[in-house]
């Protein structure tokens, strides 16, 4: 059991995070599940095998103390940290005159600061171990501007962070086999959407891409995976 790798997932209570947790456990990982929704987390942890396989921990990714506690829990309970999937995020209505500025602040704290704090909390342990994998959930919206979309701007920031992190690791820790992958979904059928378009990707589709990235041999670093529904034009 102690030799089984450990996969930390933020935004794990629903959608892509929960789907990835299920596939990770099936692939032999132990998982540490983080989100602000404790009830859903505990239910998922029980589904995945309880404390021997899955730990649920409340975490606001925009809170530095919560992030440190999340990494500490993985190390204390499972003895190692192999993969950190910074997946937590949410959106806002398009239009710079439409959304509440308080919503903007919360979104930026989660989508941008939350990813940076995830990196800050986990990077020292992965570098010390000499191996590991960061995955960051960006978006198709992190590659192109959308009218009135501050959400897209947050995902551009995540895309930039992914490459900035990869370069930092390669320049400052050249002997550490720590990989960085940006996951960039198109329209995906998750709780993100109130009115869900037809023909979207499923959360399991994105989870399979995540597991593809982490299953590669040590010398292969998959830096970006852009996934669109077949019928999504842009």
- The pLDDT score that the predictor gives to residue 38 is 87
What span, in angstroms and rounded, lies between the C-alpha atoms of 213 and 166? 15
Residue 161 tokens, joined: 């962070």
Q: Say what the pLDDT of residue 5 is.
A: 97
Q: Hey, what CATH topology would domain 6-227 get?
A: Rossmann fold (3.40.50)
Distances (CA, A) of 111 to 41, 103, 182, 200: 20, 12, 14, 22
Could you tell me the two tokens for 43?
């239910």
Q: List the pLDDT tens digit at each of the 234 positions of the chain.
A: 678 999 999 999 999 999 999 999 999 999 999 999 888 999 999 999 998 999 999 999 999 999 999 999 999 999 999 999 999 999 888 889 888 899 999 999 999 999 999 999 999 999 999 999 999 999 998 998 889 899 999 999 999 999 999 999 999 999 999 999 999 999 888 665 556 667 789 999 999 999 999 999 999 999 999 999 998 887
- 29 among known catalytic residues: no
Say what the pLDDT of residue 3 is.
86
- The model carries a pTM of 0.94
Q: What is the pLDDT of residue 225?
A: 98
Domain extent listing, the chain = 6-227
Query: Which of the residues 29, 84, 151, 212 is marked catalytic?
Result: 151
In DSSP notation, 155-180 reads HHHHHHHHHHHHHHHHHH-TT-EEEE
β-bridge partners, 6: 30
């Amino acid at each position: 059991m102690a030799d089984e790798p450990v996969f930390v997932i933020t935004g794990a209570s629903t959608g892509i995070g929960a789907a990835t947790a299920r596939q990770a456990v099936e692939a032999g990982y132990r998982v540490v599940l983080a989100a602000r929704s404790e009830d859903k987390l505990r239910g998922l942890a029980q589904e995945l095998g309880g404390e021997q396989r899955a730990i649920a921990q409340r975490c606001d990714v925009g809170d530095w103390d919560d992030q440190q506690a999340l990494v500490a829990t993985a190390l204390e309970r499972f003895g190692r940290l192999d993969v950190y999937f910074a997946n937590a995020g949410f959106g806002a209505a398009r239009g710079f005159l439409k959304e509440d500025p308080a919503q903007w602040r919360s979104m930026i704290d989660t989508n941008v600061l939350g990813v940076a704090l995830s990196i800050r909390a986990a990077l020292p342990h992965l570098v010390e171990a000499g191996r590991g994998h960061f995955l960051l959930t960006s978006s198709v919206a992190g590659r192109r501007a959308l009218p009135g979309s501050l959400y897209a701007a947050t995902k551009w920031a995540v895309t930039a962070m992914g490459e900035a992190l990869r370069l930092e690791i390669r320049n400052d820790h050249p002997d550490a086999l720590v990989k960085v992958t940006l996951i960039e979904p198109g329209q995906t059928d998750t709780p993100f959407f109130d009115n869900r378009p037809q023909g979207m990707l499923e959360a399991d589709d994105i989870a399979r891409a995540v597991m593809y990235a982490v299953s590669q041999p040590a010398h292969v670093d998959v830096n970006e995976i852009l996934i669109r529904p077949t019928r999504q034009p842009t």
